[in-house]
Amino acid sequence: MRRFVIIAILLGAFTFPAGAVNPSEMLKDPVLELRAREISKHLRCVVCQNQSIDDSDATLARDLRVLVRDRLMTGASDTEVIDYVVSRYGDFVLLKPPFKLATMVLWFGPGLILLLALLAMVNFYRRQQRTARAATPPPLSDDERQRFDDLMKDDAP
């Protein structure tokens, strides 16, 4: 039993993630399949949005993988395949979209949101401090202090 566990651990250590590519999708030509896998790693699954189509199990990702392989089978270059997919889905389908006016939101959006959140937090804490200062009563005058002390002496047993 111990040997079986050791062998299973060793075999598990040398396995590589296959992604979501089904064997039925794979091309017979290993060179074309390697090109398809490389292209798929750079295309975003528009359903999952945080995975490449190579890693996603979504139906649309599968359709895009098949589309990439079909285009490669027709003799298209890697650039032509990527350009075709971008023409249908826009620059958002690229995991690393190009820097241009139309994609500025993709590049600067997260930083802008973080900056706005930081400004909102600073504004919130400044308001809290102003409210706390406004709620603090001014110190007692000498007359008020004397009267307070007198009242406290009268109540003492």
Residue 44 main-chain phi, psi, to 5 deg: -85, 140
- Cα 122 off chain centre by: 24
Can you name the CATH fold of 2-98?
Helicase, Ruva Protein; domain 3 (1.10.8)
pTM over 0.85: no
| pLDDT per residue as tens digits for the range 7-32 | 777 666 555 444 566 666 777 788 88
Q: Where are the domains of the chain?
A: 2-98, 103-155
d(CA 83, CA 32): 18
CA distances from 10 to 1, 5, 7, 19, 149 (A): 14, 9, 5, 21, 82
| pLDDT per residue as tens digits for the range 38-91 | 998 999 888 887 888 888 888 888 899 899 999 998 999 999 999 999 999 888
**Residue 37 CB neighbour total at 10 angstroms:** 19
Which of the four pLDDT bands, split at 50, 70 and 90, describes residue 111?
Answer: very high
**How is residue 89 annotated by DSSP?**
H
